[in-house]
Each structure stands twice: as C-alpha cells, then as structure tokens.
Amino acid sequence: MCGIVGYVGRRDAAPLIVEGLKKLEYRGYDSFGIATTGNSIALVKHQGRISENSGAAARLTGKTGIGHTRWATHGIPNDVNAHPHTDCTGTIALVHNGIIENYAELKRQLLSRGHTFRSETDTEVIVHLIEEEYPGRKDLLAAVQAVVPRLEGSYAILVISSSEDRIIAARNASPLVIGIGDGEIFAASDMTPIIEYTERAMFLEDGDIASLNRTGVEVFNREERVARPVELIDWSVEDVKKGGFAHYMLKEIYEQPQAFYNTIRAVNSDTIPWSSHRPPSITIVACGTSYHAGLIFKYLLEDSCGIPARLEFASEFKYYPPPVEGLVIGISQSGETADTLSALKQAKSHNCRTLAITNVLGSTVSRIADSTMFMRAGPEISVAATKSFVAQLAVLIQLINSLCDRKFDDILLHAHQAIEEVLLLDLTEAVAACKHARSIFYVGRGPFYAVSLEGALKMKEISYIHAEGYAAGELKHGPFALLSPETPVIALCVPGETYGVMISNIKEIKARGAPVIAIGCDGDAELPDIADIFIAIPRTPVFVQILTSLVVLQLLAYHTAVALGRDIDKPRNLAKSVTVE
C-alpha cells in the first residue's frame, strides 16, 4: 500500500502536498517524495517518514505538484526508489500506487531502446513509456492515453510535465479520488488529505484517465469523454483512516490472523539466512514487547531444537556486554529502536553474526545487521504493539521450524484460524473484574510466563492499571504479600507438563482471597470450577496456544481501557518507537 497526492491550483503546491502525505502515512511511511512543476520539474525525495523530514520538500515552488508516501514490498526503500520517478530527460515526473505486472518485459524493451533506469521499481517503466510518446504528440494526456493500454496490473498514477500546467491521472484497480475545490483540484488515494479543503469529490472508474487543471477535470475512458458525477462527502478524517473501528489498536488486533498468516507464508527457506548450518548458540537483544517475543522464542527454541539461547535487554547489552558468540538476533518493529541498534553494533564488534527482525523494509536496523528478516504486519499505528508482536512471533517460530526440519509446517499454516476463533470470545465478565482493580497479576509457566509478561505490559500501557507478570512459581517468593480481593490474578493454565502445578498455584491464590481469571483449553473439566472466571481458548498445539492466549490478553487490556475511557492509541508518556536511549 502506498499513498499519492496531487494538487493543481492557485496556491503553492508543495506545502499542501506535504500535509496531505502526512495524513496518508497510515498507508505507508518508509520513504516519500514530491515533484512540482513551474518551468521545470523540481523534485525532492527521501527515505524516512515525511512527518520527520519534510523541510526541503515543503520549500519547492510551483502551483502544480504530485507527492507519494511509500510502503515498500519489493525494492528496498531508499532515496532512489522513492517516488516520484522522472524520465531520462527529467521533464516528466510520475507517482504510482499499485503493481505493474508486466514491468519486466516492458523494462527489457525500454532498455534495448536506450533508456536509463535509475531505480529498481516497477513504476519507472511507466514514465519512460510516456517519455517515448510525448515528443510526437506534445500533449501529456494523449501520451498517457497511448501508454495505459500497455500496462497490466493495478495502478493509480499522477503525471506532470515541465511544459504543461496540469496533472494527468489514471486509475485501474487502485484507489484514486479527485477533490474539486474553487479554482483548485486535488487528487489522492483517499479522502483524508482532501477533506480539509473541499467536500466535493469525484471517483474515477477503472480505466479512466483524467486531465486536471485549475479550472476543472476532464475524464476520458478509452479515448472517449465521459462524465463522472461529483459527490458530496462528509466523512471525518479519523473515520476514514480507522476504517470504522473505534481505535487503531482494535483494528490491528483484528488484523492479526492475516498478519500472522502473511508472515508465515513470506518467511520460508529462501528468506531464512542460515539454511545451511545451525548456529551453536543464539543471543536475542530487544526492548519492550519485542523482548517478550524474544523470551517466547528462547523457551521454544531450547525446547524444540536444543540450541542454547540467551535473552538480553538491548539497553543493558550495550553497556554491560556479556561474552557473546554465535548468532545475535535483534528484534525491533520499527527497525529504528536506538537501544537495539547499538546492541547490534556492539555484537558486530564482537565478531558475531547478526540477524535483524523488523517490520519496516530498509530501516536502519537492516543496514546494520548482516541479514534481515521482515515480518508482514503492515503499518502499525497504535502505540501498543499487537499485530507486529504476532508477526514477530511468526518470524521467530518459522526460524525454529526451519531448524527442526520444518516439522511444524502444518500447524503454522493453520494457526491463524485459532486466532480468528478467539476474536469471537466474549470477555465482558473478565473486563468487569479488571476495571476496578488496583493491581492485576499475570501468572504462567514456560512460554506462558512470557505471555503473562506481555499481557501485563499491554494492560499497563493502555489502561494505566498496575499490572505485573510473574512466573507462577515465583509468586510465593514475595508477591503473595500483595494478594487481596482487589487484585485479580490472571492465570494461564493450559494442558501439558505444568498443568497440575498450575492448578495447585491457582488454588493457593484463591486461598489468599484474590479473584482468579483462568485462561485454559476448551473442554477443561477442572478449571471452570476452581477459577472465578474461565476463558476457553481452542485446544491446539502449544505454539498456537501461545498466540491465542496472547490475543485474549490483548483484547482484555483493550476492553478494560475502553471501559475506563483511556486514550487507547496514544497512551500517556509513550511513543511508538523509542529512538533515544
């Protein structure tokens, strides 16, 4: 997904486009670019977020311009691959959202005709094709009309040229909206950048090509002039981005089955860097939620593959580096977490092989580490990490799978179904028990200890209730003193080796008067009787139980925070990615 914006009118285009792109950041934010036209094409494009680095872009002059914010899936994000792309002569600039499926063939033909390609993107072929058509016609619209039939795939494109004061837009199977103002015309991937300036919108149909200049819009389909109705839109900007969900966090929680599945599919033997030999030991460095993913990985790796694993807080690792050898894995959703970056540098200086796991293609961490594996969670907006955590786990579990001769393939390909299943659970009772609590304790054993840490973190982050995760056996060694009827305990108790001892732990907790919310497997005969509230997750292999119990805890934290009226997506004092130490 990428976002595009275009403007033609009476104002300076660049500042408007910058603001518009910022609003489209939810569609992608790994690189951006703007081109404007006066007498020549002026172009600025950069890797990174537009909201952090828009200075030079906003200073471009010209009253006609186009902009793009990118979320790379093929071709790493860097300055060169960022849109807009220009032709060989630098007189035509183009932004594109979508995929050109026959680009390889077109590119071969163009190269043989002497065109120079600067980027690795599929987009650049379009601008070179237009370049070939333009001189004969001296009309940008006619040139685009000649090129579009040769493109296969999905696209929404905006094109400008140095000699014309208009934008040509074309669309096929990718979203594009035209906003009609007074003496100015906007174009964008959706209404969010436009709604501030005008409520009148025109939606292009597949195959439409439109010429936008400041007096109006002409739409053509197969070279014939067509009329598209102008409609009044009264959506609020926030609604559009959240797509009907009350909060980004909820939206992202519900995207988890897809994020998990996409990541499992994307991470395979080809993308795993050490298919040839297994490392003698693995050290994981991470912060926050990623640390918890690392902890789950450690338990599963040691259990399934017998490779010793060590887990370190990235922030500690830098200053107190333990003696390391083998492979060092750094986990960071944004790929920009300062602590994780410096820990990986530290590991490299000890001659360790390094592997980064991140959600952002081309982020800093991928340039530092020897190899990088990407999760496929898509942009995550909510500060509290949900789908990126599940996607991290997908990458890590897939790593374990590859070290164990892929014996878990079957389980992993169907794990998302179980997540789908727990999204249907009704947690009203548990939320009622949690929302008035002063403290909440989470207990579990083995990988479920890590799950309880993560569950407690989510609760702290968004509901501001004091929450702690403990290894169930550790509760007796101190925290027992804190138990009272006002401190609910959430116990993760699934069938397995620790089931019996967890049951007796729960009984001990009950004896101290604390209400117990137990998460166990469907069909459990004992738990519903002992616990005050019993939440059943599907009976599945342990890998999947980890995921499902986690999703239950995320939902519990979310609904508790909603019941308390907290600011879910922007909890106080927290930032999405921590780029300082």
Nearer to other proteins by Cβ, of 203 and 464: the residue is: 203
411 touches other proteins (CB under 8 A): no
Fill in the DSSP letter of residue 451. H
Report which of 163, 78, 94, 175 is spatially closest to residue 127, judged by C-alpha positions.
94
Amino acid sitting at position 471: A
Sole binder of other proteins in the list 150, 200, 214, 414 (CB under 8 A): 414
Which residues are CB-contacts of 580 (< 8 A; sequence separation ≥ 6)?
A: 338
Contact 84, 35 (CB under 8 A): yes
Sole binder of other proteins in the list 228, 466, 510, 512 (CB under 8 A): 228
Helix (H, G, I), strand (E, B) or coil at 80: coil
Instruction: Note if 576 is an active site residue.
Output: yes
Contact 280, 325 (CB under 8 A): yes
423 touches other proteins (CB under 8 A): yes
Give the 3-state DSSP-derived string for 213-272, with helices as H, strands as E and coil as C: ECCEEEEEECCEEECCCEEECCCCHHHHHHCCCCCHHHHHHHCHHHHHHHHHHHCCCCCC
Q: Rounded to the nearest whole angstrom, what is the least distance from the CB of residue 225 to other proteins in the complex?
A: 16
Helix (H, G, I), strand (E, B) or coil at 459: helix
Q: Rounded to the nearest whole angstrom, what is the least distance from the CB of residue 229 to other proteins in the complex?
A: 6
Nearer to other proteins by Cβ, of 104 and 413: the residue is: 413
Give the span between the Cα atoms of 82 and 104, in whole angstroms. 19
Angle between the N-to-C axes of helices 387-403 and 256-266, in degrees from 0 to 180, rounded to the nearest 10: 30
In the stretch 524-563, what mask flags binding to other proteins with x, by CB under 8 A? Answer: --------------x-------------------------
- Taking CB under 8 A as the binding criterion, the range among 124-132, 245-253, 334-342, 467-475 that sits at the site for other proteins is 245-253
Rg (CA), the chain: 27
H or E segment to which residue 525 belongs: none
Q: Rounded to the nearest whole angstrom, what is the least distance from the CB of residue 409 to other proteins in the complex?
A: 12
In the stretch 256-295, what mask flags binding to other proteins with x, by CB under 8 A? Answer: ---------x------------------------------
Q: Rounded to the nearest whole angstrom, what is the least distance from the CB of residue 454 to other proteins in the complex?
A: 21
Q: Rounded to the nearest whole angstrom, what is the least distance from the CB of residue 192 to other proteins in the complex?
A: 9
- Length of the chain in residues, anyone? 581
196 touches other proteins (CB under 8 A): no
Nearer to other proteins by Cβ, of 174 and 560: the residue is: 174
305 touches other proteins (CB under 8 A): no
- The count of residues interacting with other proteins (CB under 8 A) is 33
Give the span between the Cα atoms of 165 and 64, in whole angstroms. 7
Nearer to other proteins by Cβ, of 37 and 174: the residue is: 174
Nearer to other proteins by Cβ, of 98 and 330: the residue is: 98
Residue 53 to residues 18, 29, 527, Cα–Cα distance (Å): 10, 11, 54
In the stretch 337-356, what mask flags binding to other proteins with x, by CB under 8 A? Answer: --------------------
Sole binder of other proteins in the list 203, 274, 480, 499 (CB under 8 A): 203
Instruction: Note if 2 is an active site residue.
Output: yes
User: What is the residue-wise DSSP string for 491-542?
Assistant: EE--SSTTHHHHHHHHHHHHHTT--EEEEEETT-SSHHHHSSEEEEE----H
Contact 555, 547 (CB under 8 A): no
Give the span between the Cα atoms of 286 and 282, in whole angstroms. 13
Q: Rounded to the nearest whole angstrom, what is the least distance from the CB of residue 243 to other proteins in the complex?
A: 4
Checking DSSP bridges between strand 533-537 and strand 516-521, what pairing results, if any? parallel
413 touches other proteins (CB under 8 A): yes
Fill in the DSSP letter of residue 30. S
232 touches other proteins (CB under 8 A): yes
Sole binder of other proteins in the list 142, 233, 381, 411 (CB under 8 A): 233
Q: Which residues within the stretch 166-195 sit at the binding site for other proteins (CB under 8 A)?
A: 173-175, 190-191
Q: Contact residues for other proteins (CB under 8 A)?
A: 173-175, 190-191, 201, 203, 205, 228-229, 231-235, 239-240, 243-245, 250-251, 254-255, 265, 413-414, 417, 420-421, 423-424, 538
Could you give the residue numbers annotated as active site?
Answer: 2, 576
